[in-house]
Chains A and B, each alone.
Chain A
Amino acid sequence: GQSLEQPSEVTAVEGAIVQINCTYQTSGFYGLSWYQQHDGGAPTFLSYNALDGLEETGRFSSFLSRSDSYGYLLLQELQMKDSASYFCALPSGNTGKLIFGQGTTLQVKP
């Protein structure tokens, strides 16, 4: 089967850098995705890593190490609007199906 683990909560201050970790177990690896969900809103896609290394998109970066079955989302120059839940997700085969982690709630404080 497939499973993902991520911390349930992370707190950081405005302007800081925060890292949200995700470890996974899967028999077949097709990449690791990250989604953001604001309270009361719909999840939105942030990033996808298929290969080892860092992918950067503005203030957000995502890292993958396939040998360690580990990835993280790095948020820099934190803003209050970054307060949200962040989910890592594993694609399951080529059906487009995703298995989601339980989510990490990020609270950004002034």
Chain B
Amino acid sequence: DVKVTQSSRYLVKRTGEKVFLECVQDMDHENMFWYRQDPGLGLRLIYFSYDVKMKEKGDIPEGYSVSREKKERFSLILESASTNQTSMYLCASSWSGNEQFFGPGTRLTVL
């Protein structure tokens, strides 16, 4: 089975802290994605990567950065967390096709 894991299910941080969210996939997928999910807004793409060290901005990249040093790992970084970044963060991976495999999500609360 394809497995996408995320480093934490729940995370509480303070405003201004630097936050790292880690995602690892075990299926040698080329593409990896970070979304945030908020009630009534669906899944919004923050960043995605189609190869190691390659990244592209999604629809809402402001306040975020990413790192992909190894194919299996894609990190989302909040340089200075703010309360409006309180959300559910979902990582996904895929081959070039349409089926994305999602991790369990990290519910981040910024106080």
Contact = CB atoms under 8 A, between A and B. Distances in A.
Interface in B14-72: 30-31, 33, 35, 40-45, 48, 50, 56, 58
B43 A43 contact: yes
B34 to A, nearest CB: 12
B42 A94 contact: no
Interface string B91-105: 010111111111111
Contacts of A97: 31, 33, 45, 48, 58
Nearest to A32: B98
B76 interface: no
A16 B94 CA distance: 34
B108 interface: no
Given A42-B90, A43-B90, A95-B48, 9 more contacts: A8-B40, A42-B102, A45-B100, A45-B101, A95-B50, A95-B96, A96-B31, A98-B45, A100-B44
15 contacts: A8-B40, A31-B98, A33-B98, A42-B4, A42-B105, A45-B98, A48-B98, A95-B31, A96-B30, A96-B50, A96-B100, A97-B33, A98-B100, A99-B45, A102-B41
B43 A48 contact: no
Contacts of B97: 96
Secondary structure type dominating chain B contacts:
strand
B interface residue count range (under 10 / 10 to 19 / 20 to 34 / 35 or more): 20 to 34
Interface in B79-96: 90, 92, 94-96
A100 B43 contact: yes
A103 interface: yes
A95 to B, nearest CB: 6
B21 to A, nearest CB: 15
A99 B41 CA distance: 12
B98 A42 contact: no
Contact of B42 (A41, A45, A91, A101): A101
Interface string A30-52: 11010000000111110010000
